[in-house]
């Protein structure tokens, strides 16, 4: 991870159960949840020697607020084609803001969604 600019990311949520259900459904994964008193976190799966950055959902009433403004996180569509993950967004309670869009031959495709918490998040794939 020392070669990546981003070392960790956190996506603010107001309802952890709902947020976990959304991300597990859309990305077909299992998240690990840990409660630290007023701070509630759920980690995305990651490999220490893998590409990209680890991160989590995070809930704390005083320090985190979901938003469509600010930093935009691009989540990798591990299916290889973000259209697969995108097809699950609305059924899981999110909204599609921008459908699959070609960036370039070198960088592939992206789409924009809002999750169940009101965060704007991007999806990315090479196909």
Asked if residue 92 belongs to a domain, the reply is: yes
CATH number (domain holding residue 14): 3.10.180.10
Ordered mean pLDDT values, 10 residues apiece, the chain (127 residues): 74 97 97 95 87 90 94 94 98 98 96 98 95
Asked if residue 91 belongs to a domain, the reply is: yes
Asked if residue 106 belongs to a domain, the reply is: yes
Residue-level pLDDT at 1: 44
Residue-level pLDDT at 16: 97
Asked if residue 72 belongs to a domain, the reply is: yes
Asked if residue 108 belongs to a domain, the reply is: yes
Q: Any alpha helices (H) in the chain, and if so which ranges?
A: 16-27, 82-89
Residue-level pLDDT at 3: 62
Residue-level pLDDT at 2: 53
Strands 32-36 and 39-43: antiparallel
Asked if residue 112 belongs to a domain, the reply is: yes
Q: What is the pTM of this model?
A: 0.90
Residue-level pLDDT at 7: 81
Asked if residue 2 belongs to a domain, the reply is: no
Residue-level pLDDT at 115: 98
Asked if residue 61 belongs to a domain, the reply is: yes
What's the structural domain count of the chain? 1
Q: How far apart are CA 106 and CA 127, in angstroms?
A: 11
Residue-level pLDDT at 53: 86
Range of the domain at 15: 9-125
């Amino acid at each position: 991870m020392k070669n990546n600019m981003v070392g960790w990311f956190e996506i603010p949520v107001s309802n952890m159960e709902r947020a976990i259900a959304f991300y597990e459904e859309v990305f077909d994964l299992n998240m690990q949840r840990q409660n630290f008193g007023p701070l509630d976190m759920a980690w995305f799966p990651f490999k220490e020697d893998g590409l990209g950055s680890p991160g989590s959902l995070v809930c704390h009433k005083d320090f985190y607020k979901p938003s469509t403004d600010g930093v935009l996180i691009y989540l990798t569509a591990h299916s290889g084609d973000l259209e697969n993950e995108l097809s699950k967004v609305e059924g899981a309670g999110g909204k599609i803001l921008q459908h699959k869009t070609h960036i370039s031959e070198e960088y592939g495709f992206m789409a924009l969604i809002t999750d169940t918490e009101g965060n704007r998040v991007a999806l990315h794939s090479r196909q």
